[in-house]
């Protein structure tokens, strides 16, 4: 939840209402009406307008800067690993940790048979 007066940046336009993507603005009010889809009223100084926005359409400036810094740090480390021929560092940076931590569980025979039966019926 964003606080009043917080500087935010528009990152999405899910409802296609013509939001200026990448522009910054300030939260000036919460939308308290439960029947309304919007969450905040935002002041966008570059176009001199007030617009209603969803919470998922905006992100705080600090989190965007932090994500950009982490991405830049990763790119610099990859460049360093390539220049120094450090294969272990390169593999650790390039390999997705999420994929390495997730184990694939094989289906038991009953589940595999069930899936085969469903596919057979769908084919017929």
Nearest CA-CA partner of 53 in 39, 64, 43:
39
Domain check: are 101 and 58 in the same one?
Answer: no
2, part of any domain = no
123, part of any domain = no
The torsion defined by the Cα of 32, 34, 38 and 40, in degrees rounded to 10, comes to 10
Residue predicted with more confidence, 9 or 87 = 9
pLDDT at 98: 38
**Which residues are paired to 53 by β-bridges?**
40
CA dihedral (113, 117, 122, 123) positive or negative: positive
- The C-alpha atoms of residue 28 and residue 40 are separated, in whole angstroms, by 8
Q: Which structural domain range is residue 77 located in?
A: 67-115
How many C-beta atoms surround the C-beta of residue 119 within 10 A? 10
Instruction: Write out the H or E segment, with its range, that includes residue 52.
Output: strand 49-53
The total number of structural domains that make up the chain: 2
Last residue of a domain, one of 38, 62, 86: 62
What is the tens place of the pLDDT at every residue in 69-113? 999 998 898 888 888 888 888 888 888 543 544 444 454 556 777
What is the tens place of the pLDDT at every residue in 22-61? 999 999 999 888 888 899 999 999 999 999 999 999 999 8
CATH code, 15: 2.30.30.40
| Inter-residue contact 78 to 94 (CB < 8 Å) | yes
Domain check: are 73 and 51 in the same one?
Answer: no
pLDDT at 124: 54
């Amino acid at each position: 939840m964003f606080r009043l007066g917080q500087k935010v940046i528009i990152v999405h336009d899910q409802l296609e209402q013509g939001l200026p993507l990448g522009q910054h603005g300030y939260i000036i009010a919460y939308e308290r009406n439960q029947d309304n889809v919007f969450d905040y009223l935002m002041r966008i100084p570059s176009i001199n307008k007030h617009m209603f926005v969803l919470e998922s359409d905006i992100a705080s400036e600090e989190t965007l800067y932090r994500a950009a810094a982490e991405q830049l740090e990763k790119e610099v480390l990859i460049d360093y690993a390539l220049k120094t021929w450090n294969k272990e560092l390169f593999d650790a940076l390039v390999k997705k940790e999420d994929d390495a931590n997730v184990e694939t569980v094989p289906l038991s025979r009953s589940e595999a048979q069930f899936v085969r039966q469903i596919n057979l019926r769908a084919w017929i």
